[in-house]
């Protein structure tokens, strides 16, 4: 395994790290993504055999080894660092999982991703390359967290601690979801999305220099807004958007709570 994959696996390096002095509180390390891109050009393809199954992929990007090497040492230190449920899940080398996480099948976690302690990755979830997922996050069934390797300087998607991301949500193009936020099922956010805050009566947008940021503890639901222009009005057309309808409260906590035993 190359040094970059070993460092990512062990959590010594990250594509983005918390930094209060940086834009939106996160510092991006573009060199991590540049080094990952170099791996795709090394060594061509090979077949990986896992029990009765075989996979064809880049020789320089093997599957993550879950039961030996650095992961075995982590297992001894932490007792049970994570639970990878059988049934079609795979993780690439260079994906880091903190202790206490659960990955339900089938799911895929790509190279450079960071998964925080106690996070639940539910069925049919994709965590894309270099995405940063915080502690005690719940990614519900069918969530897609976009990856980012091209261009190397682009921001990864970041989901901070204690966030609930509902079923079928999609987060792309460097979106940052603040600590404790709740995204209802079906919310899709990209770097150019508009987020309409009904609580504070404002429109939140990303820029070329800063990501779209979902405020901490915001409760976001899918909605629509009318299309401008006479043709749109004539035909009653609207486009999908996302709405902040409230801030997280005790009632919200109760609805999104995950039974501790499931972790």
Please state the domain count of the chain: 1
Residue 123 belongs to some domain of the structure: yes
247 is a domain residue: yes
Residue 259 confidence (pLDDT) above 70:
no
Judge whether 194 lies within some domain. Answer: yes
pTM to 2 decimal places: 0.89
Q: Is residue 263 part of a domain?
A: no
Position 47 scores a pLDDT of: 87
What secondary structure letter does DSSP report for 159? E
- The pLDDT tens digits for 202-228 are 999 988 778 899 999 999 999 999 998
Looking at per-residue pLDDT, the higher value among 54 and 150 belongs to 54
| CA 171 remoteness from chain centre | 8
Strand-pair category, 238-247 with 158-159: unpaired
Does residue 262 lie within any of the structural domains?
A: no
Examine residue 76 and state whether it is found in any structural domain, yes or no. yes
- pLDDT (tens digit, 9 = 90+) per residue, 82-136? 888 888 898 999 999 999 999 999 999 999 999 999 999 999 999 999 999 999 9
Domain extent, residue 24, equals: 3-257
What's 12's domain CATH number? 2.160.10.10
**How far lies 227's CA from each of 51, 114, 234, 235, in Å?**
54, 38, 10, 10
């Amino acid at each position: 395994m190359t040094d970059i994959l070993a460092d990512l696996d062990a959590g010594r390096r990250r594509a983005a790290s918390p930094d209060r002095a940086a834009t939106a509180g996160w510092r991006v390390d573009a060199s991590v993504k540049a080094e990952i891109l170099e791996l795709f050009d090394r060594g061509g393809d090979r077949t990986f055999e896992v029990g009765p199954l075989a996979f064809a992929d880049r020789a320089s990007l093997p599957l993550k080894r879950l039961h030996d090497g650095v992961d075995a040492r982590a297992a001894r230190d932490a007792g049970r660092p994570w639970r990878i449920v059988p049934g079609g899940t795979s993780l690439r080398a260079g994906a880091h999982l903190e202790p206490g996480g659960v990955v339900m099948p089938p799911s895929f976690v790509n190279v450079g991703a960071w998964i925080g302690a106690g996070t639940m990755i539910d069925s049919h979830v994709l965590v894309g390359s270099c995405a940063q997922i915080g502690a005690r996050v719940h990614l519900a069934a069918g969530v897609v967290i976009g990856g980012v390797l091209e261009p190397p300087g682009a921001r990864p998607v970041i989901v901070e601690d204690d966030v609930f991301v509902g079923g079928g949500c999609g987060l792309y193009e460097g979106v940052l979801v603040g600590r404790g936020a709740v995204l209802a099922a079906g919310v899709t956010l990209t770097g150019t999305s508009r987020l309409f805050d009904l609580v504070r009566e404002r429109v939140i947008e990303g820029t070329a220099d800063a990501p779209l940021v979902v405020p901490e503890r915001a409760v976001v639901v899918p909605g629509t807004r009318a299309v401008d222009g006479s043709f749109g009005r004539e035909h009653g057309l609207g486009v999908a958007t996302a709405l902040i309808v409230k801030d997280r409260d005790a009632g919200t906590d109760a609805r999104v709570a995950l039974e501790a035993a499931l972790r």
